[in-house]
Structure 1
Amino acid sequence: MASLNPVNSFGNFDKNRIMRLAECYTNEFDSSKLRDLICQLDSFIVYARGSDRRFVNLKGISDLAKLLVKSDLHQTWPLVYLLIKLTLILPVATPSVEWAFSSLKYIKNELRNSIGDEFLNGCLVCYVKRKIFTILIVT
Protein backbone atom coordinates (compact mmCIF):
# COMPACT_ATOMS: atom_id res chain seq x y z
CA MET A 1 0.00 0.00 0.00
CA ALA A 2 2.89 2.35 0.72
CA SER A 3 4.03 1.95 -2.89
CA LEU A 4 0.97 3.91 -4.02
CA ASN A 5 1.60 6.78 -1.60
CA PRO A 6 2.07 10.04 -3.58
CA VAL A 7 4.30 11.71 -0.96
CA ASN A 8 7.74 12.83 -2.22
CA SER A 9 6.74 12.40 -5.88
CA PHE A 10 5.80 8.76 -5.31
CA GLY A 11 9.15 8.11 -3.63
CA ASN A 12 8.01 4.67 -2.43
CA PHE A 13 6.63 3.63 -5.82
CA ASP A 14 7.51 0.00 -6.49
CA LYS A 15 5.72 -1.63 -9.40
CA ASN A 16 6.56 -5.17 -8.25
CA ARG A 17 4.98 -4.60 -4.84
CA ILE A 18 1.92 -3.01 -6.41
CA MET A 19 1.52 -5.98 -8.73
CA ARG A 20 1.75 -8.37 -5.77
CA LEU A 21 -1.00 -6.38 -4.05
CA ALA A 22 -3.17 -6.56 -7.19
CA GLU A 23 -2.65 -10.33 -7.39
CA CYS A 24 -4.34 -10.63 -3.98
CA TYR A 25 -7.57 -9.31 -5.50
CA THR A 26 -8.31 -12.23 -7.82
CA ASN A 27 -11.98 -11.24 -8.29
CA GLU A 28 -11.03 -7.83 -9.66
CA PHE A 29 -7.77 -8.59 -11.48
CA ASP A 30 -7.62 -11.58 -13.79
CA SER A 31 -4.51 -12.28 -15.88
CA SER A 32 -5.47 -9.90 -18.70
CA LYS A 33 -6.24 -7.07 -16.27
CA LEU A 34 -2.92 -7.66 -14.53
CA ARG A 35 -1.14 -7.21 -17.87
CA ASP A 36 -3.12 -4.02 -18.50
CA LEU A 37 -2.32 -2.79 -14.99
CA ILE A 38 1.41 -3.09 -15.69
CA CYS A 39 1.03 -0.75 -18.69
CA GLN A 40 -1.24 1.63 -16.80
CA LEU A 41 1.20 1.84 -13.88
CA ASP A 42 4.05 2.74 -16.22
CA SER A 43 2.17 5.57 -17.92
CA PHE A 44 0.59 6.73 -14.66
CA ILE A 45 3.87 7.14 -12.79
CA VAL A 46 5.51 9.01 -15.67
CA TYR A 47 2.53 11.37 -15.82
CA ALA A 48 2.24 11.83 -12.05
CA ARG A 49 5.93 12.51 -11.52
CA GLY A 50 6.42 14.96 -14.33
CA SER A 51 3.47 16.07 -16.41
CA ASP A 52 0.97 17.34 -13.86
CA ARG A 53 1.89 19.71 -11.02
CA ARG A 54 -1.30 18.81 -9.11
CA PHE A 55 0.36 15.56 -7.99
CA VAL A 56 3.20 17.38 -6.17
CA ASN A 57 1.59 18.35 -2.85
CA LEU A 58 -0.62 15.34 -2.19
CA LYS A 59 -0.60 14.17 1.43
CA GLY A 60 -1.76 10.58 1.01
CA ILE A 61 -3.58 7.94 -0.99
CA SER A 62 -7.01 9.46 -0.29
CA ASP A 63 -5.85 12.78 -1.76
CA LEU A 64 -4.61 10.88 -4.79
CA ALA A 65 -8.01 9.21 -5.27
CA LYS A 66 -9.81 12.54 -4.94
CA LEU A 67 -7.51 14.18 -7.48
CA LEU A 68 -7.97 11.36 -9.97
CA VAL A 69 -11.76 11.70 -9.78
CA LYS A 70 -11.77 15.50 -9.77
CA SER A 71 -9.58 15.65 -12.87
CA ASP A 72 -11.30 12.68 -14.62
CA LEU A 73 -7.98 10.84 -14.71
CA HIS A 74 -9.66 7.84 -13.07
CA GLN A 75 -11.02 7.10 -16.54
CA THR A 76 -7.56 7.26 -18.08
CA TRP A 77 -6.14 4.74 -15.61
CA PRO A 78 -9.19 2.77 -14.39
CA LEU A 79 -7.20 -0.20 -13.06
CA VAL A 80 -4.82 2.03 -11.11
CA TYR A 81 -7.84 3.82 -9.66
CA LEU A 82 -9.52 0.51 -8.80
CA LEU A 83 -6.41 -0.61 -6.93
CA ILE A 84 -6.28 2.71 -5.07
CA LYS A 85 -9.94 2.29 -4.04
CA LEU A 86 -9.28 -1.25 -2.84
CA THR A 87 -6.27 0.02 -0.89
CA LEU A 88 -8.43 2.62 0.81
CA ILE A 89 -11.10 0.06 1.71
CA LEU A 90 -8.69 -2.48 3.22
CA PRO A 91 -7.98 -0.65 6.52
CA VAL A 92 -11.73 -0.24 7.10
CA ALA A 93 -12.75 -3.76 6.11
CA THR A 94 -10.16 -5.59 8.21
CA PRO A 95 -11.28 -4.25 11.62
CA SER A 96 -14.92 -4.85 10.68
CA VAL A 97 -14.23 -8.52 10.04
CA GLU A 98 -12.16 -8.82 13.21
CA TRP A 99 -14.97 -7.17 15.18
CA ALA A 100 -17.48 -9.66 13.79
CA PHE A 101 -15.25 -12.59 14.78
CA SER A 102 -14.72 -11.19 18.26
CA SER A 103 -18.51 -10.93 18.58
CA LEU A 104 -18.69 -14.61 17.74
CA LYS A 105 -17.05 -15.57 21.03
CA TYR A 106 -19.96 -14.01 22.95
CA ILE A 107 -22.52 -15.91 20.94
CA LYS A 108 -20.84 -19.27 20.59
CA ASN A 109 -19.92 -20.16 24.13
CA GLU A 110 -19.79 -23.62 25.67
CA LEU A 111 -23.56 -23.79 26.15
CA ARG A 112 -24.25 -23.00 22.52
CA ASN A 113 -21.30 -24.85 21.07
CA SER A 114 -23.51 -27.41 19.35
CA ILE A 115 -25.80 -25.00 17.50
CA GLY A 116 -25.97 -25.18 13.72
CA ASP A 117 -24.36 -22.74 11.32
CA GLU A 118 -27.65 -21.24 10.09
CA PHE A 119 -28.87 -20.45 13.61
CA LEU A 120 -25.44 -19.14 14.58
CA ASN A 121 -25.41 -16.87 11.53
CA GLY A 122 -28.80 -15.45 12.53
CA CYS A 123 -27.61 -14.80 16.08
CA LEU A 124 -24.43 -13.15 14.85
CA VAL A 125 -26.31 -10.80 12.53
CA CYS A 126 -28.60 -9.78 15.38
CA TYR A 127 -25.65 -9.20 17.71
CA VAL A 128 -23.54 -7.24 15.22
CA LYS A 129 -26.46 -5.08 14.08
CA ARG A 130 -28.04 -4.74 17.53
CA LYS A 131 -28.36 -0.93 17.23
CA ILE A 132 -30.69 -1.39 14.27
CA PHE A 133 -32.76 -3.96 16.15
CA THR A 134 -32.94 -1.66 19.20
CA ILE A 135 -34.31 1.17 17.05
CA LEU A 136 -36.88 -1.16 15.49
CA ILE A 137 -38.04 -2.41 18.90
CA VAL A 138 -38.33 1.11 20.37
CA THR A 139 -40.35 2.49 17.44
Structure 2
Amino acid sequence: MSCLNPCNWFSKFDPSKILAFAEMYPDDFTTQELGTLLGDIESFRYTINDDDRFANLNGISDLARLMVETETHSSCPLVYRVVKLALVLPVTTATVEICFSKLKLVKTYLRNGMDPEYLNNVRVCAVEQETFDKVKDDDVIERFQAMRKKRGQIY
Protein backbone atom coordinates (compact mmCIF):
# COMPACT_ATOMS: atom_id res chain seq x y z
CA MET A 1 0.00 0.00 0.00
CA SER A 2 2.91 2.35 0.64
CA CYS A 3 3.78 2.13 -3.07
CA LEU A 4 0.62 4.13 -3.77
CA ASN A 5 1.48 6.86 -1.28
CA PRO A 6 1.76 10.09 -3.31
CA CYS A 7 3.98 11.88 -0.78
CA ASN A 8 7.33 13.13 -2.10
CA TRP A 9 6.14 12.83 -5.70
CA PHE A 10 5.42 9.08 -5.43
CA SER A 11 8.95 8.34 -4.21
CA LYS A 12 8.00 4.77 -3.20
CA PHE A 13 6.05 4.04 -6.40
CA ASP A 14 6.88 0.46 -7.47
CA PRO A 15 4.73 -1.21 -10.14
CA SER A 16 5.82 -4.74 -9.17
CA LYS A 17 4.73 -4.21 -5.55
CA ILE A 18 1.41 -2.72 -6.65
CA LEU A 19 0.85 -5.78 -8.84
CA ALA A 20 1.78 -8.08 -5.93
CA PHE A 21 -0.71 -6.23 -3.72
CA ALA A 22 -3.49 -6.77 -6.28
CA GLU A 23 -2.57 -10.46 -6.62
CA MET A 24 -3.30 -10.92 -2.90
CA TYR A 25 -6.98 -10.26 -3.67
CA PRO A 26 -8.04 -12.79 -6.35
CA ASP A 27 -11.74 -12.12 -5.66
CA ASP A 28 -11.27 -8.49 -6.71
CA PHE A 29 -9.01 -8.99 -9.74
CA THR A 30 -9.38 -11.66 -12.40
CA THR A 31 -6.31 -13.23 -14.00
CA GLN A 32 -7.00 -11.22 -17.15
CA GLU A 33 -7.23 -7.96 -15.17
CA LEU A 34 -3.96 -8.74 -13.40
CA GLY A 35 -2.39 -9.18 -16.84
CA THR A 36 -3.52 -5.71 -17.94
CA LEU A 37 -2.86 -4.04 -14.58
CA LEU A 38 0.84 -3.53 -15.30
CA GLY A 39 -0.02 -1.61 -18.48
CA ASP A 40 -2.55 0.42 -16.52
CA ILE A 41 0.12 1.22 -13.92
CA GLU A 42 2.55 2.42 -16.60
CA SER A 43 -0.18 4.58 -18.15
CA PHE A 44 -0.89 5.99 -14.70
CA ARG A 45 2.82 6.71 -14.18
CA TYR A 46 2.95 8.81 -17.37
CA THR A 47 -0.23 10.64 -16.37
CA ILE A 48 1.07 11.66 -12.95
CA ASN A 49 4.44 12.72 -14.35
CA ASP A 50 2.74 15.09 -16.81
CA ASP A 51 0.31 16.64 -14.30
CA ASP A 52 1.64 18.92 -11.55
CA ARG A 53 -1.57 18.53 -9.51
CA PHE A 54 -0.32 15.08 -8.45
CA ALA A 55 2.85 16.62 -6.95
CA ASN A 56 1.61 17.89 -3.57
CA LEU A 57 -0.77 15.21 -2.37
CA ASN A 58 -0.79 14.18 1.29
CA GLY A 59 -2.16 10.65 1.15
CA ILE A 60 -3.96 7.92 -0.73
CA SER A 61 -7.35 9.55 -0.10
CA ASP A 62 -6.12 12.73 -1.83
CA LEU A 63 -4.90 10.58 -4.70
CA ALA A 64 -8.31 8.92 -5.10
CA ARG A 65 -10.08 12.29 -5.01
CA LEU A 66 -7.73 13.79 -7.61
CA MET A 67 -8.04 10.73 -9.84
CA VAL A 68 -11.80 11.32 -9.98
CA GLU A 69 -11.40 15.08 -10.53
CA THR A 70 -8.94 14.57 -13.40
CA GLU A 71 -10.90 11.55 -14.73
CA THR A 72 -7.81 9.39 -14.37
CA HIS A 73 -10.08 6.84 -12.71
CA SER A 74 -11.64 6.27 -16.14
CA SER A 75 -8.38 6.00 -18.07
CA CYS A 76 -6.71 3.79 -15.42
CA PRO A 77 -9.64 1.90 -13.85
CA LEU A 78 -7.58 -0.96 -12.44
CA VAL A 79 -5.18 1.40 -10.68
CA TYR A 80 -8.19 3.24 -9.26
CA ARG A 81 -9.58 -0.08 -8.01
CA VAL A 82 -6.25 -0.81 -6.27
CA VAL A 83 -6.34 2.67 -4.69
CA LYS A 84 -9.91 2.10 -3.44
CA LEU A 85 -8.90 -1.30 -2.05
CA ALA A 86 -5.97 0.33 -0.23
CA LEU A 87 -8.37 2.88 1.27
CA VAL A 88 -10.96 0.33 2.42
CA LEU A 89 -8.56 -2.26 3.79
CA PRO A 90 -7.65 -0.51 7.07
CA VAL A 91 -11.32 0.06 7.89
CA THR A 92 -12.29 -3.58 7.35
CA THR A 93 -9.30 -4.77 9.32
CA ALA A 94 -10.21 -2.48 12.22
CA THR A 95 -13.77 -3.85 12.26
CA VAL A 96 -12.49 -7.41 12.61
CA GLU A 97 -10.03 -6.31 15.29
CA ILE A 98 -12.86 -4.69 17.26
CA CYS A 99 -14.93 -7.89 17.11
CA PHE A 100 -12.03 -10.01 18.38
CA SER A 101 -11.32 -7.48 21.11
CA LYS A 102 -14.94 -7.65 22.28
CA LEU A 103 -14.84 -11.46 22.12
CA LYS A 104 -11.74 -11.44 24.34
CA LEU A 105 -13.66 -9.38 26.92
CA VAL A 106 -16.67 -11.69 26.75
CA LYS A 107 -14.82 -15.00 26.79
CA THR A 108 -13.13 -14.78 30.15
CA TYR A 109 -11.53 -17.65 32.01
CA LEU A 110 -14.77 -18.38 33.88
CA ARG A 111 -16.79 -18.54 30.64
CA ASN A 112 -14.50 -20.92 28.73
CA GLY A 113 -16.91 -23.82 29.25
CA MET A 114 -19.88 -21.95 27.79
CA ASP A 115 -21.90 -23.29 24.87
CA PRO A 116 -20.67 -21.85 21.51
CA GLU A 117 -24.17 -20.68 20.56
CA TYR A 118 -24.59 -18.84 23.86
CA LEU A 119 -21.09 -17.36 23.47
CA ASN A 120 -22.01 -16.11 20.00
CA ASN A 121 -25.17 -14.48 21.36
CA VAL A 122 -23.19 -12.76 24.12
CA ARG A 123 -20.61 -11.61 21.55
CA VAL A 124 -23.31 -10.06 19.36
CA CYS A 125 -24.68 -8.22 22.38
CA ALA A 126 -21.20 -6.93 23.23
CA VAL A 127 -20.40 -5.81 19.67
CA GLU A 128 -23.80 -4.20 19.14
CA GLN A 129 -23.90 -2.62 22.60
CA GLU A 130 -25.09 0.77 21.34
CA THR A 131 -28.16 -0.86 19.79
CA PHE A 132 -28.94 -2.88 22.91
CA ASP A 133 -28.60 0.19 25.12
CA LYS A 134 -31.64 1.65 23.32
CA VAL A 135 -33.86 -1.34 24.22
CA LYS A 136 -36.00 -0.80 27.32
CA ASP A 137 -35.99 -3.43 30.09
CA ASP A 138 -39.80 -3.40 30.23
CA ASP A 139 -40.01 -4.32 26.53
CA VAL A 140 -37.72 -7.31 27.08
CA ILE A 141 -39.76 -8.46 30.08
CA GLU A 142 -43.04 -8.16 28.16
CA ARG A 143 -41.61 -10.11 25.22
CA PHE A 144 -40.30 -12.84 27.52
CA GLN A 145 -43.64 -13.05 29.33
CA ALA A 146 -45.51 -13.37 26.02
CA MET A 147 -43.35 -16.27 24.83
CA ARG A 148 -45.12 -18.82 27.04
CA LYS A 149 -46.86 -19.11 30.34
CA LYS A 150 -44.61 -18.76 33.38
CA ARG A 151 -45.34 -19.60 36.97
CA GLY A 152 -45.06 -16.03 38.12
CA GLN A 153 -44.56 -12.53 36.88
CA ILE A 154 -41.13 -11.12 36.22
CA TYR A 155 -40.51 -7.79 37.88
TM range (shorter): 0.7 to 0.9
Q: C-alpha deviations, 1:16-66, integer Å up to 9, x for none? A: 11111111112101211111211110100111112x222122111110001
The one-letter code matched in structure 1 to 2:54 is F
The one-letter code matched in structure 1 to 2:59 is G
Greater RCO structure (CA 8 Å; 6+ sep) = 1
Task: State the match for 1:2 in structure 2.
Answer: 2
Task: State the match for 2:135 in structure 1.
Answer: 136
Query: Sequence identity of aligned pairs in percent?
Result: 43
- Whole-Å Cα distance in 2 between the matches of residues 130 and 13 of structure 1? 42
**Alpha-carbon RMSD:** 2.0
Provide structure 2 residue ranges, at least 5 long, that are not aligned to the other structure: 140-155
- Whole-Å Cα distance in 1 between the matches of residues 116 and 74 of structure 2? 43
TM-score (norm 2): 0.78
What SS is found at the alignment partner of 1:89? helix
Q: C-alpha deviations, 1:100-125, integer Å up to 9, x for none? A: 11211222233432444443333212
- Whole-Å Cα distance in 1 between the matches of residues 46 and 106 of structure 2? 52
Whether 1:36 aligns to 2:9 is no
Structure label with greater radius of gyration: 2
Task: State the match for 2:73 in structure 1.
Answer: 74
Q: Aligned pair in 2 of structure 1 residues 121, 43: CA closer, same or farther (>3 Å)? A: same
Kept in 2, the 8 Å contact 1:10–1:49? The answer is no
**Structure 1 moving runs of 4+ over 6 Å:** none
- Whole-Å Cα distance in 1 between the matches of residues 37 and 107 of structure 2? 43
Matched length: 138
What SS is found at the alignment partner of 1:21? helix
Provide structure 1 residue ranges, at least 5 long, that are not aligned to the other structure: none
Within 5 Å, give how 1:84-99 maps onto structure 2: 84-99=83-98
TM-score (norm 1): 0.86
